[in-house]
Amino acid sequence: QKEVEQNSGPLSVPEGAIASLNCTYSDRGSQSFFWYRQYSGKSPELIMFIYSNGDKEDGRFTAQLNKASQYVSLLIRDSQPSDSATYLCAVEGSNDYKLSFGAGTTVTVRA
Amino acid sequence: GAGVSQTPSNKVTEKGKYVELRCDPISGHTALYWYRQSLGQGPEFLIYFQGTGAADDSGLPNDRFFAVRPEGSVSTLKIQRTERGDSAVYLCASSDHNEQFFGPGTRLTVL
């Protein structure tokens, strides 16, 4: 079982719709969770982090965390073509600071 | 302010050669990380520095890989006797608390 798993893509959504990305993790002691956006040929860019159960909103992005279910998600509201990218879920280890990444979900927003 | 910088941006070498990849973290960040990303995968942890010392090198694949950070700022990842399987994008990240910020990466191609 992989440490961090993301729903397989690609995910295609029409402009203005909500894109929903899911991620599960295996380390029950993990406390810190991150979403990175990666455009093709570029490096990962941090867009959200969440440490507590519940929802965290930042502009059009909402991260949701459920530690009991070992589940974290990212919602992108009012999707724009510029949101087209690969989204990486990253989980910090319970006993260290290194990040374990999922393979990423590629999102395409259709104009 | 200036972000994480990495040089070179691209490196092409021949099998068996030695390469050095450089990372200049965000000023004041004490933690520095090296990751490796293969096509279609998320970044994979290699090594983590806190200050000058390697706090965790458990991700280095074998003893051909070595990294240093002699003055607690710039870090160099060194790969001896390169193999074709070493071809990947090598990413450096730095942090001062929890959030890690990535540099643009070095694309290494071993022919």
Which residues 21-60 of B have a C-beta within 8 angstroms of A?
31, 33, 35, 40-45, 48, 55-56, 59
Render pLDDT for B28-48 as a digit per residue (tens, 0 to 9): 999 999 999 999 999 999 999
Does residue A1 surpass a pLDDT of 80?
Answer: no
Tell me how far CA of residue B49 lies from CA of A23, A108, B65, B68, in angstroms. Answer: 28, 36, 15, 9
Please give the pLDDT value at position A2. Answer: 67
pLDDT tier, A79 (very low <50, low <70, confident <90, very high otherwise): very high
* Mean pLDDT of the residues in chain A: 95
Q: A61 — contact with chain B (CB < 8 Å)?
A: no
How many interface pairs between A and B have CB atoms less than 8 angstroms apart? 56
Of B42, B59, B89, the CB nearest to A102: B42
- Helix-then-strand count for chain B, H and E: 0, 11
* Mean pLDDT of the residues in chain B: 95
Please give the pLDDT value at position A40. Answer: 95
Does residue B67 surpass a pLDDT of 80?
Answer: yes
Residue B105: list chain A partners with CB under 8 A.
43
Does residue A97 surpass a pLDDT of 90?
Answer: no
B10-13 and B106-110 strand pairing: parallel
Render pLDDT for A29-76 as a digit per residue (tens, 0 to 9): 999 999 999 999 999 999 999 999 999 999 999 999 999 999 999 999
The residue written with tokens 């160099």 in the block is B76
Residues A72, A48: Cα–Cα separation, whole Å: 11
pLDDT tier, B1 (very low <50, low <70, confident <90, very high otherwise): low
Does residue A20 surpass a pLDDT of 80?
Answer: yes
Does residue A9 surpass a pLDDT of 80?
Answer: yes
Are B104 and A49 within 8 A, CB to CB? no
Residues A3, A23: Cα–Cα separation, whole Å: 10
